[in-house]
């Protein structure tokens, strides 16, 4: 399994559809900030203006465009820059939206159809992959990267959102997760600047080390053995890895071990001692100490808290 896939599996993200909109000019809405989510907007038909709070410039979106706001920042959507903006709750009330079907709102002018949703991330976890994503991720409807997969996926989501037949939510959730993964990949491929942690995936030598760590985090890794995988000297490898990942190679090994442990604690009844051994610790006490340092909670408490949330 490659490192990026393993990270996204560990994060246990879930997606949920807000709604499909049918908006007619003039219209404008402010979406409030929300923690631990990435919001997305897909333009199925027409165009709109999107402005993220704290960003100097807004952007026009049109047919097939996709925008993901990774950190749940407040933002506004409108038919054009300068239109009157009202809070989302007020729009839902004026439209008498009940939570099902299309959200229909506006002044009767040119129309815009959007599919809007969010990816929710585990409240108890954080990861440098998410923390270092830029303020917005976008793929244009006419971008070459979009040619084969995004158009058809967006079209499919739009159809499912319009009809909402049995199983529609499950289909939309899975397709939305695929979109997030693909847009992250597109961001890595197209970025000309170094992005903390994410740029480690774009260096083939460092990426091979990340994959090796994720495949076997319990291995007795050393900087020297990891450097050999990258075909680099010990010092050159350590400097390059730290520069890209913003943590040392062995710090990352520990990070991955404890992320893996968090999954085992939630998804199994495996005793703590066996989990410690599975991820490369010689004693339960050493495992517990390292886990508390990373998650600010001991393994047993973490398991109980997650069990109570699922109950």
Query: What is the reported pLDDT for 163?
Result: 66
Query: What is the reported pLDDT for 191?
Result: 75
* pLDDT surpassing 90 at residue 224: yes
Whether 115 and 229 map to the same domain: the answer is: no
Question: Which residues, 6 or more positions from 84, have their beta carbon under 8 angstroms from its beta carbon?
Answer: 26, 28
Whether 112 and 255 map to the same domain: the answer is: no
Boundary of a domain, candidates 190, 225, 260: 190
How many domains does one find in the chain? 2
Whether 207 and 306 map to the same domain: the answer is: yes
Whether 179 and 88 map to the same domain: the answer is: yes
Mean pLDDT on 23-48: 93
Task: Enumerate long-range contacts of 247-254, CB under 8 Å, 24 or more apart.
Answer: 247/128, 248/223, 249/209, 249/221, 249/223, 250/221, 250/222, 250/223, 252/210, 252/213, 253/213, 253/217, 253/221, 254/290, 254/294
Confirm whether 232 is domain-assigned: yes
Query: What is the reported pLDDT for 12?
Result: 66
CATH number at 109 reads 2.60.120.10
Confirm whether 196 is domain-assigned: no
Residue 154: band (very low, low, confident or very high) from pLDDT cuts 50, 70, 90: low
Average pLDDT in the chain = 87
Residue 186: band (very low, low, confident or very high) from pLDDT cuts 50, 70, 90: confident
Query: What is the reported pLDDT for 151?
Result: 62
Boundary of a domain, candidates 145, 167, 190: 190
Whether 41 and 173 map to the same domain: the answer is: yes
Mean pLDDT on 156-176: 69
Q: Give the 3-state DSSP-derived string for 50-88, with helices as H, strands as E and coil as C.
A: EEECCCCCCEEEECCCEEEECCCCCEEEECCCCCCCEEH
Question: Which one is predicted more confidently, 130 or 24?
Answer: 24
pLDDT tens for 65-91 read 889 999 999 999 999 999 999 999 999
Asked if 294 and 256 touch (Cβ cutoff 8 Å), the reply is no
Question: Which one is predicted more confidently, 157 or 196?
Answer: 196
Whether 157 and 289 map to the same domain: the answer is: no
Provide the domain limits for residue 242: 203-310
Asked if 63 and 136 touch (Cβ cutoff 8 Å), the reply is no
Helix (H) or strand (E) holding 8: helix 3-11
Specify the DSSP class assigned to residue 197: T
Residue 145: band (very low, low, confident or very high) from pLDDT cuts 50, 70, 90: low
Mean pLDDT on 134-141: 85
Boundary of a domain, candidates 168, 190, 212: 190
Mean pLDDT on 162-167: 68
* pLDDT surpassing 80 at residue 50: yes
Q: Which range, of 14-18, 20-24, 124-128, 168-172, averages the lowest pLDDT?
A: 14-18
Whether 103 and 181 map to the same domain: the answer is: yes
In angstroms, the CA 125 to CA 162 distance is 34
Output the six-digit token pair for 233: 């000297």
Identify the burial level of 223 via C-beta atoms within 10 angstroms of its C-beta, where 0-12 means exposed, 13-18 middle and 19 or more buried: middle
Output the six-digit token pair for 141: 């409807």
Whether 175 and 305 map to the same domain: the answer is: no
How would you list the strands of the sheet with 59-62, edge to edge? 59-62, 47-52, 75-78, 28-31, 86-87
């Amino acid at each position: 399994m490659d490192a990026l896939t393993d990270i996204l599996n560990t994060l246990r993200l879930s997606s949920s559809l807000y709604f499909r909109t049918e908006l007619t000019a003039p219209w404008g809405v402010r979406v409030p900030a929300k923690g631990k989510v990435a919001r997305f907007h897909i333009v199925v038909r027409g165009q709109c203006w999107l402005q993220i709070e704290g960003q100097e410039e807004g952007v026009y979106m049109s047919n097939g465009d996709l925008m993901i706001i990774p950190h749940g920042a407040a933002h506004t959507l409108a038919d054009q820059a300068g239109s009157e903006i009202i809070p989302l709750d007020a729009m839902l009330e004026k439209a008498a939206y009940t939570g099902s079907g299309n959200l229909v709102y506006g002044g009767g002018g040119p129309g815009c159809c959007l599919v809007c949703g969010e990816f929710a991330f585990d409240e108890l976890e954080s990861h440098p992959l998410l923390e270092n994503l830029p303020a917005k991720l976008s793929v244009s409807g006419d971008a070459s990267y979009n040619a084969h997969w995004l158009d058809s996926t967006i079209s499919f989501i739009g159809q499912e959102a319009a009809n909402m037949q049995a199983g529609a939510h499950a289909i939309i959730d899975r397709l939305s997760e695929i979109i997030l993964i693909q847009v992250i990949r597109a961001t890595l491929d197209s970025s000309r600047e170094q992005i903390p942690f994410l740029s480690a995936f774009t260096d083939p030598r460092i990426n091979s080390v990340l994959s090796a760590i994720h495949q076997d985090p319990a291995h007795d890794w050393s900087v020297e053995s990891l450097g050999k995988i990258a075909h680099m000297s010990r010092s050159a490898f350590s400097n390059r890895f730290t520069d890209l990942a913003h943590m040392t190679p062995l710090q990352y090994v520990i990070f991955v071990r404890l992320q893996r442990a968090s999954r085992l604690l939630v998804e199994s009844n495996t005793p703590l001692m066996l989990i410690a051994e599975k991820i490369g610790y010689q004693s339960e006490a050493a495992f517990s100490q390292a886990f508390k340092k990373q998650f600010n909670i001991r393994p047993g408490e973490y398991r109980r808290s997650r069990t109570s949330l699922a109950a």
